[in-house]
Amino acid sequence: MDSIDDLRGEIARRESELAELRWRLAVAENEEGGGSEAARRRGEWKWPLAEHEYQRYGRQMIVPKFGLHGQLRLRKAKVLLVGAGGLGCPAAAYLAGSGVGVLGLVDGDEVEVSNLHRQVAHSTARVGMKKVESAICFLRGLNPTIDFRAHATHLTPENAAGIVSQYDLVLDCTDHPASRYLISDICVLLGKPLVSASAFQTSGQLVVLNSPPGKGPCYRCVFPRPPPPESVVGCGEGGIVGPVVGAMGVLQALEAIKLIARGGLERTPEEDVASPEQTTMLLFSGMADGSLFRSVRMRGRRPDCFACSGNAPLTPDYLRSSMDYVQFCGVAKPVQLLRPEHRVTADSYRRVVEGGTRHVLLDVREREHFSLANIPGSINVPMSRFMSHRGRDSLPEGVPGDLPADVPVYVVCRVGNDSQIATAKLRELGLDRHGERFVGDIAGGLRAWKRTVDGSLPFL
């Protein structure tokens, strides 16, 4: 009997083949059905676009200040999207729909079920497929007349120049600081404008960088130093509302289309298209009661910028051979704060529960996480209470402090990082009574509990 993974893989392969056939059919129909190509060969077709292009793009070409020239510029443009996820999917859809000549996608990840609530170019049938291949299946169905290029890899200092140099404009659709600095740096070195966006929970931000090349600020000008590693929380931990990241991706596509259609890729650096003082960052708050948008005026290029200043030390060779973006952003290894004797495995804690030993289990995930699923009997004391607690003579609100000395306290979180921080804080505050009471965490958190003890726990 075929496994579920095998069946999914076979469906993904068949969908890819079907998308290829549909694309070939559409191309053939466009070449023969409209008659414009045959007329062009006979010298009878005098219009700059093919007949099917007038039909497909007519509604945007009649927009004032867009027109035929805007469409011709789009057809000529080569646009690269780094990331085929929540931002990249809607951005790619609208760029493909608008008729850009070449659309490239860079992403080394595969489609997961948890992506589908926001990454609208993917589907359940394509779970397990490379994201760039899945997205191109969708995009070819939307517009088979443009050239799609798949780069099924992560952008790295070694391959960045080879990939980015093929395109005129780059959209940063990633979700990590290390990627953002790399993308900005290579765009500065190669003179490519960059449209950068981000989204988290219910908010987002958008800024056009290095535009025009050599004048506009780069990502390092806006953020000279990366955020503290402990403040970097991904969608898996902090969550994301689908329409929020979708809105930011659509706005990225709009900025790209504006830049292309207005001739922003054709002007030379000497032309004063947009002074650095005109750069603004758009801030979006999806759940705000009032205005959803506000703009913040950005400063121009920093005279001491590592990447784009007059004497910048960044060079192509330096980027390729010496830049360690993970180290620069301080991406930490998994938290290891506790000694081995202060940690227990999920299976060891199971034996505590089954043995009926009196104890306390603190779940330090935030309330929304806790409400989805939890270990029966656990007490929810969100990590935010530990981080904001300042007293040295009291415990964070919700932590029982009047327990007999022989009642052990266990702490659990999603993957076993926050639980270590909380445990260390509790021990520092004296809950362990100088070693009389066991205070420790469950290594691996609820992920380990699901994997080794209770498989019925929803995936977290």
What pLDDT does residue 275 have? 44
Handedness of CA 240, 243, 244, 250 (dihedral sign): positive
Average pLDDT in the 82-87 region? 95
Residue 332 confidence class, pLDDT cut points 50, 70, 90: low
| Three-state secondary structure call for residue 194 | strand
For the chain, the residue count is 460
Chain mean pLDDT for the chain: 87
Closest among 100, 109, 120 to 82, alpha carbons compared:
109
Average of per-residue pLDDT across 314-339 = 79
Could you tell me the two tokens for 309? Answer: 């200043």
Does the annotation place 289 within a ligand binding site? Answer: no
- The confidence score (pLDDT) of residue 217 equals 93
Best-predicted range by mean pLDDT among 24-33, 358-367, 382-391?
358-367
Query: What value does the mean pLDDT take over residues 72-97?
Result: 96
437 is in an annotated binding site: no
**Amino acid letter for position 182:** L
Average pLDDT over residues 257-280: 68
Residue 39 reports pLDDT greater than 60: no
> Of 11-15, 69-73, 199-203, 276-280, where does mean pLDDT reach its minimum?
276-280
Q: Which of 133, 321, 305, 279 is nearest to 225 (CA)?
A: 305
| Residue 329 is assigned to a ligand binding site | no
> pLDDT at position 277, please?
44
DSSP, collapsed to helix, strand or coil, labels residue 409 as strand
**75 labeled binding residue:** no
Would you say residue 150 has pLDDT above 60?
yes
Between 329 and 23, name the one with better pLDDT: 329
Is 173 annotated as contributing to ligand binding?
no
State pLDDT tens for residues 383-411: 889 888 888 888 999 999 888 888 999 99
CB 40 within 8 A of CB 56: no
pLDDT for position 387: 86
Cis bond leading into 212, ω under 30°?
yes
Choice among 89, 187, 235, 329 that is catalytic: 235
**pLDDT tens per residue, range 151-195:** 999 999 999 999 999 999 999 999 888 999 999 999 999 999 999
Per-residue pLDDT at 276 exceeds 70: no
Q: What's the rounded mean pLDDT across residues 266-270?
A: 54
Q: Is 89 a catalytic residue?
A: no
Q: How confident is the model at residue 336 (pLDDT cuts 50, 70, 90)?
A: confident
Q: Which one of 89, 173, 329, 413 is the catalytic residue? A: 413
131 labelled as ligand-binding?
yes
- With CA atoms as reference, report the closest residue to 157 among 184, 132, 124: 184
- Position with higher pLDDT, 26 vs 340: 340
86 is in an annotated binding site: yes
pLDDT at residue 273 greater than cutoff 50:
no
Residue 271 has a pLDDT of 43
On the question of pLDDT at 100 being above 90, the answer is yes
Active-site residue flag, 413: yes
- Beta bridge pairs of residue 106: 82, 151
Q: Is 428 helix (H, G, I), strand (E, B) or coil?
A: helix
3-state secondary structure of 94: helix
pLDDT at 143 over 50: yes
CA-to-CA separations, 203 to 138, 163, 238, 373, 406, in angstroms, rounded: 27, 30, 12, 25, 46
Calculate the CA dihedral of residues 81, 86, 90, 91 and round it to 10 degrees: -30
pTM of the model: 0.76
Determine the average pLDDT of the residues in 433-444.
Answer: 92
